[in-house]
Structure 1
């Protein structure tokens, strides 16, 4: 009988693996199937969401999502990136990082896929290595300035995007506002035109009679 094993991995992700012999190993020589900055952590543009993510190697650096791209930033001297507050703070304990969790993942062999979704969490996924292993990762939280709240991004089609219900709500509100604005403008224009025409005709007709 398989008993869930809880493995604490990088970036605060707790991975649940249904194997009693599961091992969270590291792999310094693994060749990743993904090259370049972690753009996959960024929501698809256009979006008003503000997203930051910790750097994979340096605690004094971070990524900020700009138009769907992960742009590297650096903290001022003597400060370290706080991935919870998305701020650079003078707290050296923020430099503690556990090793990335590397596990055999079906679908990663020979880079058949760059990413494989986790079956446990919608926000979790694996970044594939060419040897058939995958590195655990998790989508960051995003700040929505329109609602002054945070949104947990989920991994969909190779990117961390907001849940479907968040996108749908925004679209419906925009459509309603557009219809109301259009109706009001037409009515005001029609009323003004009729009043001006009637007044002018009466003033010109009276002297003639």
Structure 2
């Protein structure tokens, strides 16, 4: 059995085990978040939390970022949540990766006609950035599991991670060199300050 096949098999085992898990209980992506067993709560700022656990670099292709976030959120729903629970997702309205990946998770988990989107904000320091909430009742748990298994067979998660790691290496390889390299490298970093329009690079 090849390494790729062993990864796919292991992933399938995890998913299969989830199908025989005990009845639904309180589920939240953020640790120690108060909730109840009626919801599958991946708020707030879903992809930010997922990205803290598995690196999804901004220098990776848009397709790979969207695919990675879809799989990370989808795997959480597949292994932790059940049909009948209210799926709760939240993302940044200005980030295409959030809009596309989280919408795909909702559509893969729920009846599309039942998905509601509400505009809201996400607080960053003393700023409030435009965001959106997605809500729907999970009805397609088995279909989501099948979709994730099929993705793992055609493009293993380890291959996806390898492509993203290669994108980071290429980006680092193109970083400036010379006496001013350190300061230029710092100016090139994507930080909360640059997202909010701050920073002092010229």
- The TM tier, using the shorter chain, reads under 0.3
Structure holding more strand per residue: 1
TM-score (norm 2): 0.27
| Greater Cα radius of gyration, structure 1 or 2 | 1
TM-score (norm 1): 0.26
